[in-house]
Amino acid sequence: MAFHPNEAQVEVQLGGAPDLPHVLADVLLWTTTLAEVTAEWTHAREARLLVTVRGRSASGVRFLAYGGGPFADCLGLVQLRPGEREGVSLDELYALLNLIREREAA
C-alpha cells in the first residue's frame, strides 16, 4: 500500500492470491467501498492480466486498487493483444470472474 499525501491518493496492490479469480474477487470487493468507480484491464508484460480500479472514499480520498494474474487464467475470455488496455465495467469484471469459476468447476 502506498499513500501519496500531496495527491490525496492511496494505492493498494492486491496480491498474495493464488490465482486470477481470487484477485478479481478482491478487486471487486474494493469497489463496494468506493464511489465514482472506473476500471480497466491490461494485457501486461510477462503475459499477465492487470486489473486497475479507481474511485473515491466517502471522505473524498482517491483510491487506486490493482492486481493481476496470468493472462492464460482468462481462458480466452479477454481479447486483448499484449500491451493493449481497455476500459471495462464492473459488470464485465464480475462476469469474467463467474465465467472463469464456471469453467474451472466443469
**pLDDT per residue over 25-83, tens digit each?**
998 998 888 999 999 999 998 899 999 999 999 888 899 999 999 999 999 999 999 99
Q: Tell me the average pLDDT of the chain.
A: 88
Confidence of residue 1 (pLDDT cuts 50, 70, 90): low
d(CA 74, CA 52): 16
Give residue 4's pLDDT band: very low, low, confident or very high (50, 70, 90).
Answer: low
Sequence ranges of the domains in the chain: 2-105
Instruction: Provide the CA 66 distance to its chain's centre, in angstroms.
Output: 5
Q: Identify the CA nearest to 44 among candidates 75, 22, 29, 66.
A: 66
CA distance 62 to 80: 28
Is the Cβ–Cβ distance between 67 and 26 less than 8 Å?
A: yes
Question: Cell 482517491 belongs to which residue?
Answer: 62
3 state DSSP class of 49: strand
pLDDT given at position 9: 81
